[in-house]
Structure 1
Amino acid sequence: MISYDDVTVGTELPARSFPVTRADLVRYAGASGDFNPIHWNQRVATTVGLPDVIAHGMLTMGLAARAVTDWTGDPAALRDFTVRFARPVVVPDTDEGTSVEVTGVVKRTLDDHQVLVDLTVSAAGTKVLGQARATVRLA
Structure 2
Amino acid sequence: MRTPNDGWTKPPIKDLGPDLLRISRPRRAVALAFPFVCFLAYFALAATGHPVLAVLAVVVLSFVTYGSVSHDLVHANLGLSPTANRRLLSLLELIMLRSGTVYRIVHLNHHAKYPDAREDPEGSAARFSLGRTLWEGVI
TM over 0.5: no
Q: Normalising TM by the smaller chain, what interval?
A: under 0.3
Structure in which a larger fraction of residues adopt strand: 1
Structure-2-length-normalised TM-score: 0.28
Higher RCO by CA contacts (8 Å cutoff, separation 6 or greater): 1
Pair member with larger Rg: 2
Structure-1-length-normalised TM-score: 0.28
